[in-house]
Amino acid sequence: MVNRLIVIVLFEGVDLLDVTGPPEVFSLVPREATERGGYEVVLAAETPEPVTTAAGVRIMPDATFDEVGARAIDTLLVPGSVEVDSEQRIHPVAEPGTVARVKALAARTRRVASVCVGAHILAAAGLLDGKRATTHWSTAQRLAADHPAVRVDPDPIFIRQQGEEGEVWTGAGISACLDLSLALVAEDFGESVALSVARRLVMYLKRPGGQSQFSVPLEQVSTTRRVEDLRHHILSHLDQRLTVPDLAAYAHVSDRQLTRIFKTELGTTPHAYVESARVERAANLLETTDDTLERVASVCGFGTVDTLIRAFRRRLATTPSEYRARFRITPPPLSGAPHGPA
């Protein structure tokens, strides 16, 4: 019985969940599915010394890069790390030493995968050139700007690309390491095995929607006072009519000018932006209140529950009821509970 060797790259400041999440998924593969070979997970670093993660937790490597480089690696898993400057801007970390090690190990690995901003390391190593890739939504524009040879798609939870040199997978936001790991299990052992693991983790085997359901589409950066004013107006009047003519009249521009402004400044259309804002507000209400769907549809400007449902299906690939069941923060009211003092 030969186990598939999965090497997870360690370096100073690495995100803790990127490192610890995937092994948890791999460890839950049922024993009967691995009778002819399971997984061996090895944490590798430059030296045998403990590595301090971004969370401050120290991790002891199982081996050095030189030691694992002498073995047949099935999957090389590259986590990420970011630095935040004084203005709270996020900068993905791709140290030259780590990039060089990843490039060398990848050359003799069947399958390479990155978690979250680990995609920036793969890109710096040239492993994503000409390929479609994803990363955490907050650094997607940076990835595209720094590496124009990479076709960045910020929405998918993970992307698999097959090339002459082997498979390359990229995963999105930090918790998407679990989704990506489940996908690897499905490829290796079949979807039925991956589904059993997903049930143990209380996860979707295939999460509904992409990163757009968790990113903040309202945080797009604009460069003009006019657009900032329009955004504020929209967010303050979601329950009112916000058609292109309405918004154009508010901004004192023509319909065509308004559309051009949105395309240039926010990379979207006025209609799509308004719908995204309404879905974002509705999602927040579904998470934090017991408001009926009729109430949510009304205060968010959808008018009817049917319109609300259609918008959720378009934007999040799920329904409002499914979203609430999955992500609600406040508990549902107790059946038959008294509404006041006895």
The pLDDT assigned to 32 comes to 62
Any idea what the Cα angle at residue 217 is, between residues 211 and 218, rounded to 5°?
A: 155
**Residue segments in the chain with a per-residue pLDDT below the cut of 70:** 1, 32, 34, 36, 174, 202-224, 329-342
Beta bridge partners of 5: 40
3-class DSSP string for the chain = CCCEEEEEECCCCCCHHHHHHHHHHHHCCCHHHHCCCCEEEEEEECCCCCEECCCCCEECCCEEHHHHHCCCEEEEEECCCEEECCCCCEEECCCHHHHHHHHHHHCCEEEEEECHHHHHHHHHCCCCCCCEECCCHHHHHHHHHHCCCCEECCCCCEEEEEECCEEEEEECCCCHHHHHHHHHHHHHHCHHHHHHHHHHCCCCCCCCCCHHHCCCHHHCCCCCHHHHHHHHHHHHCCCCCCCHHHHHHHHCCCHHHHHHHHHHHHCCCHHHHHHHHHHHHHHHHHHHCCCCHHHHHHHCCCCCHHHHHHHHHHHHCCCHHHHHHHHCCCCCCCCCCCCCCC
Q: Which residues contact 313 (CB under 8 A, 6 or more apart)?
A: 319
Provide the CA 275 distance to its chain's centre, in angstroms: 21
At 59, list the tokens.
């991790």
Are residues 234 and 271 in contact, defined by beta-carbon separation less than 8 angstroms?
no
Q: Which amino acid is at 129?
A: D
At 86, list the tokens.
């004084």
Q: In the block, which residue shows the tokens 């008294």?
A: 338
**What is the rounded distance in angstroms from the CA atom of residue 184 to the CA atom of residue 25?**
10
**What is the rounded distance in angstroms from the CA atom of residue 157 to the CA atom of residue 154?**
9
Q: Which residues contact 50 (CB under 8 A, 6 or more apart)?
A: 58, 59, 60, 61
156-212 per-position pLDDT tens digit: 888 888 877 789 999 987 678 888 998 899 889 887 788 778 777 766 545 544 444
Are residues 112 and 122 in contact, defined by beta-carbon separation less than 8 angstroms?
yes
**In terms of Cα–Cα distance, which of 108, 96, 152 is closest to 128?**
152
40-59 per-position pLDDT tens digit: 999 999 999 999 999 999 99
pTM: 0.63
Q: Which residues contact 221 (CB under 8 A, 6 or more apart)?
A: none
Are residues 244 and 261 in contact, defined by beta-carbon separation less than 8 angstroms?
no
| Domain architecture of the chain: domains with CATH | 4-211 (3.40.50.880), 217-327 (1.10.10.60)
CA distances from 325 to 64, 162, 294, 314 (A): 44, 36, 17, 18
Count of all residues that appear for the chain in the document: 342
